[in-house]
Amino acid sequence: MTYQENFQKWLDYAELPAYLRQDLLAMDEKTKEDAFYTNLEFGTAGMRGLIGAGTNRINIYVVRQATEGLARLIEEKGESYKKRGVAIAYDSRHFSPEFAFESAAVLAKHGIQSYVFEALRPTPELSFAVRHLGTFAGIMITASHNPAPFNGYKVYGEDGGQMPPADADALTNYIRAIENPFQVEVADLEAEKASGLIKVIGEDIDQEYLKEVKSVNINQDLIDNYGKDMKIVYTPLHGTGEMLARRALAQAGFASVQVVESQAVADPDFSTVASPNPESQAAFALAEELGRQVGADVLVATDPDADRVGVEVLQKDGSYKNLSGNQIGAIIAKYILEAHKTAGTLPANAALAKSIVSTDLVAKIAESYGAKMFNVLTGFKFIAEKIAEFEEKHNHTYLFGFEESFGYLIKPFVRDKDAIQAVLMVAEIAAYYRSRGLTLADGIEEIYQEYGYFAEKTLSVTLSGVDGAAQIKAIMGKFRKEAPAQFNATDIAVREDFKELTSTDSAGNVTALTTPPSDVLKYTLADGSWIAVRPSGTEPKIKFYIAVVGSSNQDAEEKIANIEKEIEDFIK
């Protein structure tokens, strides 16, 4: 069906809500094509898109279609799975509550139990709820750190991790088999709430989650002596972190926490920031302002669904330094390993996990403590799979997992990125350096001096619509067929193609990769630096990851700049 035919099908649907009809009538031809040329696809963590009318937009019909697919998957598995049901949470975005309860109404039509949070809650709490309630699946309505016009739909498996590939593929097939989303039936919401088939949850799960959170911090004496008076500024950036982060910090003993109150208000327009992305220093503008007023040692920000955390640290000149996702991962890993070693609780079989595009600095840190690092594909579900493997085989003890995109997990009672846990750990680490008369900025420098000056940069190129998808495919094809022999005048030592599952060294010897297939290319240089290329699984973007090791910070940054320019020239 052409995009014009899809558009007309929507326009002709008599029961289309007025706001979606107005959206259709306002479309120019280019917008119409982008909205209807394809369907939103499941990527590394579900689907995400612009809010509005269309098959390539997120709206009640696309949500119903996705949930109908999930309902059919559950029905195929049997009656016991229907009784276990689905946990559902949502963030502060436009239509998030509507999408959550629409999902519950679709499930109820199939006689499937659902547990829906009464108000916005963080993604990690949804992951926890799946495990705590023993549901078969979870649904999280969120677009993470995307700008206000976006929303999304993430599906979780019974372990609380993002749905693993086998079930996700089956779910995708069920969704694709639904030819007309307008025909998806929904139950009466209020009637099914009254019947108990749709159960509203809230504070009861909050308290259970917060009980588990008590185990995240390692050294309570340190917090009692140095953390309780340490000034911390926190901003939830208008999102779900407000529901739990303040309570978790207070529970741990951090009594001098200042919150950016204007950003503690749930606001789907994120009116105080250009983008609610804690990766960006711009998102910290109000936190920095408050930090200067109160003399804060550390600033922390969580994204709208509180699965990612950004950190800024006080420097000697009084300014705040914005840490990269890799730097945060390094300082958390170093502290966890050192604290356990000091306490005599470091397991002999300690293990950490990270994505293949995250810094090797953490692998070097892990090695220095005798811990094993596991590299997995991008997508936190692959870290969750490793945790499940460790528990099943009893071969390793999980201590920490992270992705360079500001996602961290300390304790595995959650099986996805958990910014609430990360906020607590960053606060404890700041207290640790304070006990030594140092700051977190000093801590980062100590790590570089001990392990080398690692530097990383991610280039993200947005290419939207039909043309954009073709451009992304062409760029991946060009790298596969015509990749340079060198970057920064340094030979490529190993080429890894995670789609073909091959690793080729400079002599042409080929060995097999053991990860699941994924459209990722990685080039490791003779000096240990590397470059990786991958299309985003949830956005119309292609990403380039650059990682280098230098003799100094300046040397590392110069290498990054050289490689960045070479990539930009190559993809022109």
Looking at the DSSP bridge assignments, the partners of residue 400 are: 352
Q: Which of 398, 422, 443 is the last residue of a domain?
A: 443
| Domain membership of residue 120 as a residue range | 38-205
Q: Which of 170, 205, 240 is the last residue of a domain?
A: 205
Residues 239 and 357 occupy one common structural domain: yes
Residues 468 and 343 occupy one common structural domain: no
Where residue 304 sits, what CATH number does that domain have? 3.40.120.10
Residues 104 and 195 occupy one common structural domain: yes
Q: Which of 443, 468, 503 is the last residue of a domain?
A: 443
* Per-residue pLDDT at 44 exceeds 80: no
**Residue 518 belongs to some domain of the structure:** yes
Residues 430 and 482 occupy one common structural domain: no
* Per-residue pLDDT at 166 exceeds 90: no
**Secondary structure class of 170 (helix, strand, coil):** helix
**Residue 292 belongs to some domain of the structure:** yes
* Per-residue pLDDT at 45 exceeds 80: no
Where residue 510 sits, what CATH number does that domain have? 3.30.310.50
Residues 426 and 471 occupy one common structural domain: no
pLDDT at position 439 is 93
Looking at the DSSP bridge assignments, the partners of residue 397 are: 350
Residues 139 and 266 occupy one common structural domain: no
Distance CA 462, CA 144 (A): 17
**Residue 3 belongs to some domain of the structure:** no
pTM confidence score? 0.93
Residues 163 and 248 occupy one common structural domain: no
Q: How many domains does the chain have?
A: 3
Residues 178 and 235 occupy one common structural domain: no
CA distances to 287, 484, 508, 521 from 488, in Å: 38, 10, 21, 18
Closest C-alpha to 67, from 178, 216, 210: 178
Confidence of residue 465 (pLDDT cuts 50, 70, 90): confident
- The arrangement of strands across the sheet holding 198-201 comes to 47-50, 150-156, 137-141, 86-90, 114-117, 198-201
- On whether the CB atoms of residues 263 and 235 are closer than 8 A, the answer is yes
CA–CA–CA angle 321, 327, 329 (5° rounding): 135
**Residue 23 belongs to some domain of the structure:** no
State pLDDT tens for residues 76-130. 999 999 999 999 999 999 999 999 999 999 999 999 999 999 999 999 999 999 9
**Secondary structure class of 134 (helix, strand, coil):** coil
**Residue 134 belongs to some domain of the structure:** yes
Residues 415 and 477 occupy one common structural domain: no
pLDDT at position 3 is 96
Residues 497 and 363 occupy one common structural domain: no
Residues 197 and 74 occupy one common structural domain: yes
CB atoms within 10 A of CB 553: 13
How high does pLDDT run on average in the chain? 95
**Residue 314 belongs to some domain of the structure:** yes
Q: What is the mean pLDDT of residues 3-27?
A: 97
Any idea which of 56-65, 127-136, 452-461, 535-544 has the lowest mean pLDDT? 535-544
Residues 397 and 458 occupy one common structural domain: no
**Residue 11 belongs to some domain of the structure:** no
Q: Which residues carry out catalysis?
A: 144
**Residue 16 belongs to some domain of the structure:** no
Q: What is the mean pLDDT of residues 140-168?
A: 92
Amino acid 78 reads: G
